[in-house]
Amino acid sequence: MFYIHCPYCGERREEEEFHPNGQAHLVRPADPDSVSDEEWGDYLFFRDNPRGIHHEMWVHRLGCRKFFNITRNTTTYEILETYPMGEQPTITAETAKVRHEQGVQTADGGWQTVGARPENSTLNEETPS
Amino acid sequence: MSEAGSETNVSNVAVFDTHPAEPIDAESPLAWSRQRGLVDAAGGSGQVSAIERPFLGHLILRGGAITLDEAVRAELGINLPGQPLGLNVDAEGSRSVQWLSPDEWLVIVPGGEEFALENRLRERLGDAHFAIVNVSGGQTLVELSGDKARDVLMKSVTYDVHSHGLPVGKAVGTVFAKTSINLRRPSEACFELVVRRSFADYCVRWLRDAGREYGVSVESPTS
Ligand SMILES: [Zn+2]
């Protein structure tokens, strides 16, 4: 199970509360009447299926019920960042490649890189109830 | 488009009072559980107690936080929770406003107040961009208290229900035994579960099962 950071609730939640909704940042053609069948078909049916960094739309369906975006590595299942609708990713296939070449780890200690690290690490330590 | 917004105002939105002056029979969402003997007439002596608070007024408010905050403070005397997962309760503990999402709040008031409140809010909000929906019939509230209430919740939700995860004044939408609920912490002594009407019986049966080892009682006032 993953803990996923919802950018609207502002905290990490169990994967069970979320549902994936496919590729993010799809833009509907501004003037559908003027595009070719091929362009319309691409928009409607064809999706990227990259190995590695991918941007996906997810919904916090059992929480705030808002859609948001996730940058995810499709080979390691690592979630690199989550960000609200309308914003652009800070990690892309290009930046991840550079980081990899420079030996920078995108995540450590099991936390998502962006937005996931709790402000107070003691929250993750055992406390008597 | 600029004209269209002003056409939706108090005078042409259809609203109706779900609590008519002439009392008519109403059944709480736990009527079926009661009929099958799953609800106790009076509280038991167990360490967990679940009490339904049926027939409350539930309103969903949607719109901008600043606009709604002004109206809610003026009409209800409660601040709109500005931070995510906030829950503000009045001094009496009978009226509350809960953050549901960045543009959505749940207001719960004593049964019968919601229609007047909705009208007053509509009046005050005027031509602002907002929506109010009365969802009183669609959900019910169950109060969970007792020494082992938290232990029962730990078996039922994935959320951290310890006081550092769910302190007083916090409310979260989460998974409860595979169904969705709003889990609220209005006070130190109790948790509140806002459950869907059609899942109320399921939730009660789950609570009875999860609380069996501690002794659990489920109460539901009939009116
Ligand atoms: Zn959320």
What per-residue confidence (pLDDT) applies to A121?
A: 47
Cβ contacts (< 8 Å) between A11 and chain B: which residues?
Answer: 84-85
Question: Do A17 and B158 make contact, defined as CB atoms within 8 angstroms?
Answer: yes
Residue A121 C-beta-side C-alpha neighbours within 13 Å: 3
A105: pLDDT strictly greater than 60: no
A110 in a domain, yes or no?
yes
Residue A55 is part of a domain; what is its CATH number? 3.30.2270.10
CA-based nearest distance A70→chain B, Å: 19
Cβ contacts (< 8 Å) between A13 and chain B: which residues?
Answer: 158-159, 174
CA R_g for chain A:
17
Instruction: Name the domain count of chain A.
Output: 1
Task: Determine the average pLDDT of the residues in A28-49.
Answer: 94
How far is ligand 1, taken at its centre, from the CA of residue B175, in Å?
A: 12
* ipTM of the complex model: 0.87
Question: Do B101 and A64 make contact, defined as CB atoms within 8 angstroms?
Answer: yes
What per-residue confidence (pLDDT) applies to B42?
A: 59
Question: Do B175 and A11 make contact, defined as CB atoms within 8 angstroms?
Answer: no
What per-residue confidence (pLDDT) applies to B16?
A: 82
A26 in a domain, yes or no?
yes
B82/B61 Cα distance (integer angstroms):
14
Average pLDDT of chain A is: 83
Give bridge partners of residue B145 from the DSSP assignment.
Answer: B49, B190
* The model's pTM: 0.85
The packing angle between helices B200-210 and B149-156, to 10°, is 120
B141/B183 Cα distance (integer angstroms):
10
A30/A28 Cα distance (integer angstroms):
6
Closest Cα in chain B to A67? B101
Specify the amino acid at residue B132. I
User: How far is the CA of A43 from the CAs of A86, A95, B19, B157, in angstroms?
Assistant: 18, 26, 50, 39
Out of A101-110, A119-128, B185-194, pick the least confident.
A119-128
Question: Which pLDDT tens digits describe chain B residue by residue (223 residues)?
Answer: 444 444 555 556 888 887 777 777 888 999 999 999 888 765 567 899 999 999 999 999 999 999 999 999 999 999 999 899 999 999 999 999 999 999 999 999 999 999 999 999 999 999 999 999 999 999 999 999 999 999 999 999 999 999 999 999 999 999 999 999 999 999 999 999 999 999 999 999 999 999 999 999 999 887 5
Question: Do B172 and A63 make contact, defined as CB atoms within 8 angstroms?
Answer: yes
B61/B118 Cα distance (integer angstroms):
9
A2: pLDDT strictly greater than 50: yes
State the residue range of the domain holding A57.
Answer: 3-124
Give bridge partners of residue B192 from the DSSP assignment.
Answer: B143, B184
A129 in a domain, yes or no?
no
What per-residue confidence (pLDDT) applies to A109?
A: 39
Residue B62 C-beta-side C-alpha neighbours within 13 Å: 7
A128: pLDDT strictly greater than 80: no
Backbone angles phi, psi at B95, to 5 degrees: -130, 140
A118: pLDDT strictly greater than 50: no
Question: Do B101 and A66 make contact, defined as CB atoms within 8 angstroms?
Answer: yes
Alpha helices by DSSP H, listed for B21-77, are 31-35, 65-76
Cβ contacts (< 8 Å) between B84 and chain A: which residues?
Answer: 8-11, 64
Question: Do B173 and A8 make contact, defined as CB atoms within 8 angstroms?
Answer: no
How far is ligand 1, taken at its centre, from the CA of residue A9, in Å?
A: 4
How much of chain A exceeds pLDDT 70, in percent?
77
B178-203 b/e (C-beta count within 10 Å ≥ 16 → b):
eebbbbbbbeeebbbbbbbeebbbbb
A71/A5 Cα distance (integer angstroms):
12
Is the distance from CB of B190 to CB of B144 less than 8 angstroms? yes
What per-residue confidence (pLDDT) applies to B44?
A: 62
For residue B99, which of B172, B163, B185 has the smallest C-alpha distance?
A: B172
Q: What is the DSSP string of A60-126?
A: -TTTT--EEEEEEETTT--EEEEEETT---S--HHHHHHHHHTT--S--TT--SSS-S-S-GGGGS-
Cβ–Cβ contacts within 10 Å for residue B162, how many?
Answer: 14
Which residues are within 8 A (CB) of B200 and not within 5 positions of it... i.e. 6 or more apart? B29, B30, B33, B52, B140, B142
Would you identify the CATH topology of the domain B28-219? Gyrase A; domain 2 (3.30.1360)
